[in-house]
A and B are shown apart, each in its own frame.
Chain A
Amino acid sequence: MNRLQAAPKALYIHIPFCTNKCHYCDFTSYVLRGQPVDQYLDALEEEMKRTVASLPPERIETVFVGGGTPTVLTPPQMERFLGAVFKHFPIASDAEVTMEANPGTTDLEKLKAMRSGGVNRISFGVQSFDNGLLERIGRIHNVDDVYASLDNARKAGFDNLSIDLMFGLPGQTVEHLSDSVDRAMALGLPHYSLYSLKVEENTLFHKLYERNELPLPPEEEEFNMFLLLMKKLKENGYRHYEISNFAKPGYESRHNSTYWRNEPYYGLGAGAHGYAQGIRHVNLKGVQPYIDANRERLPRLDVYDIPEAEAMEDFMMVGLRLLEGVRTSKFAEQFPGHSLEEQFGPIIEKLLGNKLLERLETDGDTVYRLTDQGVLLGNEVFGAFIAV
């Protein structure tokens, strides 16, 4: 059985509620007030039962609870939810169990409930250390909340913490960002995610953008922001291991690495995506439709087979995001009977020629990875592998 056919070792669960909607966000998320959260948790448990019945997991090595804002659950809801996860899935004792959290929705009591429920890693959506900027992008927290939340998390027994920061925000300058990064570095966390803003359709930002009212930094400025980030993180001893992610050695997100290695994962919850046995699915996005569907079936919105050729493209598209690159041996393992060079030889040669990719020989294996220039122009590289 090749790796695509094996039962997933990674589990993603989506909690689609937020206290409010941020101006740049187009994920499946709904404002919490008046939502049937308990019924949603009932439905999630139904989906867990049906999922393990239809494709029994052997061993779950990573869990990621994302949103929305999972930390909007009350401590009792949290306890109940995590209890269900650990009851239905065989979570390994050394599993990485991450939950996304927003500063301002995490008091000590809740953090303790998370910890005792089995969460051992928290990813905080900090976004910026500039209160004015936080307000402009629609966040409800302020910088004080960030410090308080991190303190509480440590008190509750968490040491594996990560924060998200954003750059390329409207009105943001290199100086703003530099200040935020310095403050982030001062926290000395083991992991940081640094994302550039992308204006997605169906967001307030998109509307403003269409009306020419969103003062995004010019390309050159955003480019300088990215360079600055990479420089500062490196100086502070963090390894740039994925386009948007930096970690102290040993603290790379194991769960996200599943996606980047094109390996399978369970995906549960409204709007969640999953990938198993060569099939991708996306769940119903509305809370009520999701709850209703779970009374009788798996709550799928769409299920599609990924042809082998497309899966190979995906392998390159996501795999090259990791700065360690893709290994030809891993390719052959996922796609028995195919070799990476045979499949993509001319494309790779071109990218090597453009100095966007480089080739390394290690341990008798061939590795292709992004060059420094390739990191900046990643889309040019990923896009080259996509057949249209």
Chain B
Amino acid sequence: MTDVRDRQKKIRNFSIIAHIDHGKSTLADRILEYTGALSSREMQAQVLDKMDLERERGITIKLQAVRLSYRADDGEEYLLNLIDTPGHVDFTYEVSRSMAACEGALLVVDAAQGIEAQTLANVYLALDNNLEVLPVINKIDLPSAEPDRVKQEIEDVIGLDASEAVHASAKAGIGIKEILEQVVTKVPAPNGDPDQPLKALIFDSHYDAYKGVIVYVRVVDGNIRAGKKIRFMATGAEFEVIEVGAFKPKMTIVDELSVGDVGFVVAGIKNVKDTRVGDTVTDAKRPAPEPLPGYRRINPMVYCGLYPIETQDYNDLRDALEKLELNDASLRYEPESSTALGFGFRCGFLGLLHMEIIQERIEREFNIPLITTAPSVIYKVTLTNGETMDIDNPSNYPESGKLDFVEEPYVKASIIVPNDFVGTIMELCQGKRGEFINMEYLDANRVTITYDMPLSEIVYDFFDQLKSRTKGYASFDYELSGYRKSSLVKMDIMLNSEQVDALSVIVHRDRAYHRGRLICEKMKELIPRQMFEVPVQASIGTKVIARETVKAMRKNVLAKCYGGDISRKRKLLEKQKEGKKRMKQVGSVEVPQEAFMAVLKIDED
């Protein structure tokens, strides 16, 4: 047992917190390179971000964890586990769980740009989880670098001592060793008792076609090895462990995962839904009395319809969703149909980014052009006959005569901003039907403002507004706070006098007129001229509340055929046709893909 305890003292678990573009992935790559986990020849730039989409957007969606060994200046060999985290409010819960698997975090701040809003929320998550936060000033080699100003900012804004912050350039490989030394000397070794019953935190999982679900865990107490019977405490599911291992960064089987270790468990698990992030793995024969704190069951908050533009892609779309679901326990979907769009799926997501990611992956990885309908939340409807129903699709909204009352989901929204923006934020939240709850000064400059707000308003365009009104300086988090009665109506959109079910939205009665007008205006802008005039109308019940007209196309014909140059003409027509492929024929009208999301893209001001 002393071996295990000695080993435990040499383990350091840490993650990296950074704003997009501040160099998290590059730094991770350098650390891997420096510790010899990968030779630079083997390095494909930015190893940790596996998906193309992540690399392109510069964000991490799927967590990764890597085990590294590092010989420190004290002559000792240390075992470092670097746990990568996603960086968006949709995935706050995942981030908090991966941080719970660490004792320390590197806070990477761009030496020229300083702290950005997104970083703050994650720093606070780290501090909430009692992590030792080590500031790193990155991109120190930029001519515009101002390390002293940035350090001061870290001290003022976050209240962290930045005097020993490492000056680094991940790109140029500067400061990597210093960072690793600080990890070794400042991040505490894991607590935990190897003799206690097994307690391991699940912080992620992925599906492997051969091995089934691979669960990512951090062992807190006890140990885990092949042959052991384990139980997931929240779901109650039990499995026999087939193998355990670590990511080095390739998956490598080891004998056991002990206290403080980060690694993976393979146990013939067929369904990712059995392995919930935040759940505790324990020994089925000698279970821990209590699970680890912090588990939350996460449910989709936002729903939308996904439809193939080409009807024959329906089966491919189902296959794509099945495959994505294997790796994504929070994605839900079920078949639905729309008069306007044909057959598709109603899908549930954690939030808007999650929705966009899934949509993009389907289009890109599976090559299925999609139409996405405007996102909706779940409304609880009580009918006059006492019956209740959950509505996640506006076209299923009952007619007003049968309706007794409707409740909509509210969230507790916490917004952290520099105090200059307090007025702006309050104005925004009030405009979104928010109710003020609380305001708290974090320090002289920063404030946490808490509002109770309808989730539908957040789904609508809250993020964009927040970003633009605070120049990106607000960080934002929300959690469901419950359902409340609201005065809501269903607004329908008619194109050429035909109602388009996929464009219906549920809105607050007081806003219906205003929003109806904006939607009609936006539609007019987005729908290209057709061969006939197309009226665009918004209505509540049978009452038309707004109207615009897309004028008919009058002339579209090419001039001459220069000296027999057919290819020029052909190219032009091909381009015209290419544009039409992104359109959906709805009744007699060709509607572009974006129009179905238009409700979201309107500027209220």
Contacts and interface: CB of A to CB of B under 8 A. Distances in A.
A66 B563 contact: yes
A376 B554 CA distance: 7
Nearest to A383: B573
B529 to A, nearest CB: 8
B573 A223 contact: no
B566 A378 contact: no
B577 A386 contact: yes
B557 interface: yes
B1 interface: no
A298 to B, nearest CB: 17
Q: Is the interface of B mostly helix, strand, loop or mixed?
A: helix
A377 B561 contact: no
Contacts of B565: 273, 282
A274 B565 CA distance: 8
Contact of A318 (B553, B559, B561, B577): B561
A317 B561 CA distance: 11
A379 B557 contact: yes
7 contacts: A12-B564, A267-B564, A317-B566, A379-B557, A380-B553, A380-B556, A388-B577
A150 to B, nearest CB: 21
Given A272-B563, A275-B566, A280-B567, A219 B577 contact: no
B563 A14 contact: yes
A378 B555 CA distance: 8
Contact of B557 (A27, A318, A376, A388): A376
A116 interface: no
Interface residues of A, number: 46
B312 interface: no
A317 B555 contact: no
A124 interface: no
B555 A376 contact: yes
Interface in B507-523: none
B573 A280 contact: no
A375 B558 contact: no
A376 B564 contact: no
B557 A378 contact: yes
Contacts of B564: 12, 258-259, 265, 267, 273-275
Contacts of B563: 12, 14, 27, 64, 66, 267, 272-273
Contacts of A174: none
Contact of A379 (B561, B576, B578, B581): B576
A243 B555 CA distance: 12
Nearest to B580: A383
A244 B555 contact: no
Nearest to A225: B555
B555 A226 contact: yes
Contacts of A220: 554
A193 B555 contact: no
Contacts of A27: 562-563
B560 interface: yes
A377 B573 contact: no
A244 B560 contact: yes
Contacts of A47: none
A280 B560 contact: no
Sorted nearest first, the 3 A-B pairs with minimum C-beta distance are A378-B557, A223-B554, A195-B559
Nearest to A195: B559
A386 B574 contact: yes
Interface in B538-560: 553-560
Nearest to A310: B570
A376 B574 CA distance: 19
Chain A binding surface SS class: mixed
Nearest to A222: B555
B561 A259 contact: yes
A259 B578 CA distance: 25
Contacts of A354: 531
Contacts of B566: 259, 273, 275, 280, 314, 317-318
- Residue of A12, A275, A383 most packed against chain B (CB within 10 A): A383
A380 B578 CA distance: 13
Interface string B238-276: 000000000000000000000000000000000000000
A256 interface: yes
Interface in B490-515: none
A202 to B, nearest CB: 12
Nearest to A260: B561
A348 to B, nearest CB: 16
Nearest to B559: A195
B569 interface: yes
A380 B531 contact: yes
A317 B570 contact: yes
Contacts of B560: 193, 195, 244
A236 interface: no
A219 B554 contact: yes
Interface in A269-320: 272-275, 280, 282, 314, 317-318
Contacts of B577: 383, 386, 388
B555 A386 contact: no
Nearest to A354: B531
A321 B561 contact: yes
A5 interface: no
B555 A377 contact: yes
- Interface centre among A260, A314, A321, A386, by most chain B C-beta atoms within 10 angstroms, is A386
A317 to B, nearest CB: 7
A371 to B, nearest CB: 12
B407 to A, nearest CB: 47
A231 interface: no
Contacts of A356: 531
A137 B581 CA distance: 36
B574 A378 contact: no
